A and B are shown apart, each in its own frame.
Chain A
């Protein structure tokens, strides 16, 4: 069965610290897609990244980086030099290319609090 686990319910750090949000997934498919979304206090869901299962290269976008490891079924997200504006709930999600389940499988989210 497909599953996404974000074990960290809440993380609180001081501004400028680096922080890593964990995402572990379960799937039987060999082709699948992983996503990260951000939900700031204002409520909207903002797409951050999409990664397919064949591309294990790490991705860096400014202060954001993603570490995809198929061996551990993880797709972790790191914010370097965190800022107060990074405070949000972050969701990891999984979709399978061949499954009959048409839904995105969502993690429960990690609430990130960046203190000034």
Chain B
């Protein structure tokens, strides 16, 4: 158990809908990362937050947004969902968000868009 929690574990929804994925980092970690893992594209970095502020952006679509709250939990919002958004979404956390640190991953949220 990494100490990172994600909810829900599974999500099934329809095209055009909007969903919110939630992540709580390990105790003491200030930085949160979001990743998407699909069969055809492997692990893709989406976005990173540090202590409530956006730090780095990866291949995140405009239909997707995220935020980190004062209690350090983070939410990833996916809107106008398409079939191709079906994937495993991971949250990871690290202490201060520098790349020399290990990122610890949550169990993931498996999203299926029908």
Contact = CB atoms under 8 A, between A and B. Distances in A.
Interface of A: 33, 35, 37, 43-47, 50, 52, 91, 95-97, 99, 102-104, 106, 108-109
Contacts of B2: 44, 46-47
Interface of B: 2, 42-43, 45, 48, 55-56, 58, 88, 90, 92, 98-100, 102-108, 110
Contact of A95 (B90, B99, B104, B108): B99
Contact of B105 (A44, A50, A97): A44
A24 B88 CA distance: 26
B2 to A, nearest CB: 7
B21 to A, nearest CB: 15
Nearest to A43: B108
Contacts of A108: 42
Given A47-B102, A91-B43, A106-B42, 19 more contacts: A33-B100, A37-B105, A43-B108, A44-B105, A44-B106, A44-B107, A45-B105, A47-B105, A50-B102, A52-B100, A95-B99, A97-B98, A97-B99, A97-B100, A102-B56, A103-B45, A104-B45, A104-B99, A108-B42
Contacts of A96: 99
